[in-house]
A and B are shown apart, each in its own frame.
Chain A
Amino acid sequence: DAGVIQSPRHEVTEMGQEVTLRCKPISGHDYLFWYRQTMMQGLELLVYFNNKAVMDDSGMPKDRFSAKMPNASFSTLKIQPSEPRDSAVYFCASSRLVNEQFFGPGTRLTVL
């Protein structure tokens, strides 16, 4: 298995632009998670899905962030408009019904 796949790996954009991050989970995994990692806050859960349905998005700033999972093998995290404080590494992770989340390599986002 290729593991969790994320794209792009790096993204540099200007404040106010729309950013779309993509994730392909491991086949057969029912759960998909989006995290943000910064030096100050560490790893924060933004949103997670179970069988494509949002289970918890309490960690996601809803005025500018949106997450979708149109099918079992694809998810997007969109930021519009982006701000410098959104600069971070964004991780996607997936799991089955056990407490072992497999993380992707991350997308390093820089908002100028």
Chain B
Amino acid sequence: QKEVEQDPGPLSVPEGAIVSLNCTYSNSAFQYFMWYRQYSRKGPELLMYTYSSGNKEDGRFTAQVDKSSKYISLFIRDSQPSDSATYLCAMTSSTGFQKLVFGTGTRLLVSP
């Protein structure tokens, strides 16, 4: 079983919908949680970064961490066709500070 599990999708939504992307993990030592966005044939780019539990908001994006359930989420409000991409969660412990463990990614398709 993988340390980080993520539904591969694809997740298809109409423009303007609220999108919820999720990851579960098994390693309770994970403290830092990130979401990367990857467009087709491009490298991943960092979207959101949170430490420990709680919420963080940046524009249309909200990252949520529930350490008690070992569950993290990324919400996208007012989704746009330009949000169509693969979203990867990533996480690390404080000891392996730079060694990220990635989910396999969820492909999101936002139709106009």
Contact = CB atoms under 8 A, between A and B. Distances in A.
Interface of A: 4, 31, 33, 41-45, 48, 50, 55-56, 91, 93, 95, 99-106
Interface of B: 32, 34, 41-46, 49, 88, 92, 97-100, 102-105
16 contacts: A31-B98, A33-B98, A42-B103, A43-B88, A48-B99, A50-B98, A56-B99, A95-B98, A99-B32, A99-B92, A99-B98, A99-B100, A101-B46, A102-B46, A103-B44, A106-B43
Q: Is the interface of A mostly helix, strand, loop or mixed?
A: strand
Contacts of A43: 44, 88, 102, 104-105
Contacts of A44: 102
Contacts of A105: 42-43
Contacts of A104: 43
Q: Is the interface of B mostly helix, strand, loop or mixed?
A: loop
Given A31-B98, A56-B99, A99 B105 contact: no
Given A45-B99, A48-B98, A103 B105 contact: no
B108 to A, nearest CB: 16
Given A95-B98, A103-B44, 7 more contacts: A56-B99, A99-B100, A100-B46, A100-B49, A101-B98, A102-B46, A103-B43
